[in-house]
Structure 1
Amino acid sequence: MKKVIFGISFLVILVGIMIGNIATDKKEEEAGPNLYDVTGDTSVSGGMIAPVESVGIQPGEAAPDFSLETLDGEVVSLSELKGGKVILNFWATWCPPCREEMPEIQKFYDAHQDDIKIIAVNFNEKDEKVIDFLDEFGYTFPSPLDREGSVGKEYGVLTLPTTYFINSDGVIQEPRHVGPMDYEFMEKMLDTLN
Structure 2
Amino acid sequence: MIKQIGAGLFLMVLIGVVVFNVFSEDQGESSEGEVVEYNVTGDSSQEGTSITPPNAPDGLEVGEKAPDFTLETLAGETLSLSDLRGQKVILNFWATWCPPCREEMPRMEKFQQEYGDEIQIVAVNATGSESSIKKVRNYIEEGGYTFPVVLDKELNVNNDYQAIALPTTYFIGTDGVIQQPRKVGPMTYDFMVKMKNALN
Same fold (TM over 0.5): yes
Task: Indicate which of 100, 104, 128 corresponds to 2:103.
Answer: 100
Structure 2: how far apart are the matches of 1:70 and 1:192?
Answer: 28
Structure 2: how far apart are the matches of 1:130 and 1:44?
Answer: 21
Structure 1: which amino acid aligns with 2:67? P
Structure 2: how far apart are the matches of 1:61 and 1:181?
Answer: 22
- Return the offset for 1:45: 5.4
Task: Indicate which of 78, 86, 100 corresponds to 1:83.
Answer: 86
TM-score of the superposed pair, with normalisation by structure 1:
0.74
Distance change >3 Å, CA 59–CA 33, structure 1 → 2: same
- Return the offset for 1:44: 8.5
The C-alpha deviation readout for 1:37-65, integer Å capped at 9, x for no partner, is xxxxxx9858755335x321110000000
Task: Please give the residue correspondences for 1:1-194 in structure 2 after superposition, counting only pairs within 5 Å.
Answer: 48-52=52-56, 54-124=57-127, 125=130, 126-194=132-200
- Return the offset for 1:182: 1.2
Gaps of 5+ in 1: 1-31, 36-42
Paired position in structure 2 for 1:29: none
Structure 1: how far apart are the matches of 2:195 and 2:98?
Answer: 23
Paired position in structure 2 for 1:7: none
Distance change >3 Å, CA 163–CA 45, structure 1 → 2: same
Distance change >3 Å, CA 51–CA 184, structure 1 → 2: same
Paired position in structure 2 for 1:11: none
SS in 1 for 2:149: coil
Q: Is the contact made by 1:44 and 1:178 (CA closer than 8 Å) also made in structure 2?
A: no
Gaps of 5+ in 2: 1-39
How many residues are treated as equivalent by the alignment? 155
- Return the offset for 1:148: 1.1
C-alpha RMSD over aligned residues:
2.2
TM-score of the superposed pair, with normalisation by structure 2:
0.72
- Larger radius of gyration, structure 1 or 2? 1
Structure 1: how far apart are the matches of 2:135 and 2:123?
Answer: 15
Paired position in structure 1 for 2:7: none
SS in 2 for 1:89: strand
Larger RCO: 1 or 2 (CA < 8 Å, sep 6+): 2
Q: Is the contact made by 1:98 and 1:161 (CA closer than 8 Å) also made in structure 2?
A: yes
